[in-house]
């Protein structure tokens, strides 16, 4: 069973984000606001849990495109995407 969450990357997440930084990019900032401890590594988003309960999920195409544009310092806008997380593993900090 999966938990579907809607992730909204805001203008503030973008403004406070750092390029080429898996812990403080805009998408990581948005997930952190939602209570997760994230790491956005290329094609995967890792939600860091307690002990060995880290969860790795595939980054949706729309989020990958955003990351590429942001890291290339191209203009980006706030957006929303859906992420599917295995329910039993979806831990929040």
Report DSSP letters for the chain, one per residue: -EEEEEEEE-HHHHHT--TT-TTTSHHHHHHHHTT--EEEETTEEEE--STT--EEEEPPHHHHHHHHHHHTT-----EEEEEEEEGGG----
pTM, two decimals, is 0.88
Name the pLDDT band for 54 (thresholds 50, 70, 90). Answer: confident
Question: Tell me: the pLDDT tens digits for 1-23?
Answer: 788 999 999 999 999 999 999 99
pLDDT of residue 89: 47
pLDDT at 34: 94
pLDDT for 50 beyond 70: no
- pLDDT for 90: 45
Determine the average pLDDT of the residues in 82-89: 78
- Mean pLDDT calculated for residue range 49-62: 82
Give the residue extent of every domain in the chain: 2-89
Give the pLDDT mean for 21-46. 93
């Amino acid at each position: 069973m999966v938990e579907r969450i809607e992730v909204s990357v805001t203008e503030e997440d973008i403004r406070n984000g750092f390029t080429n930084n898996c812990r403080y990019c805009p998408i990581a900032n948005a997930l952190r606001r939602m209570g997760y401890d994230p790491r956005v590594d290329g094609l995967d988003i890792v939600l860091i849990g307690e002990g060995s309960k880290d969860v790795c999920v595939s980054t949706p195409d729309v989020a990958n495109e955003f990351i590429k544009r942001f890291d290339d310092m191209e203009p980006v806008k706030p957006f929303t995407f859906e992420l599917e997380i295995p329910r039993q593993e979806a831990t929040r900090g």
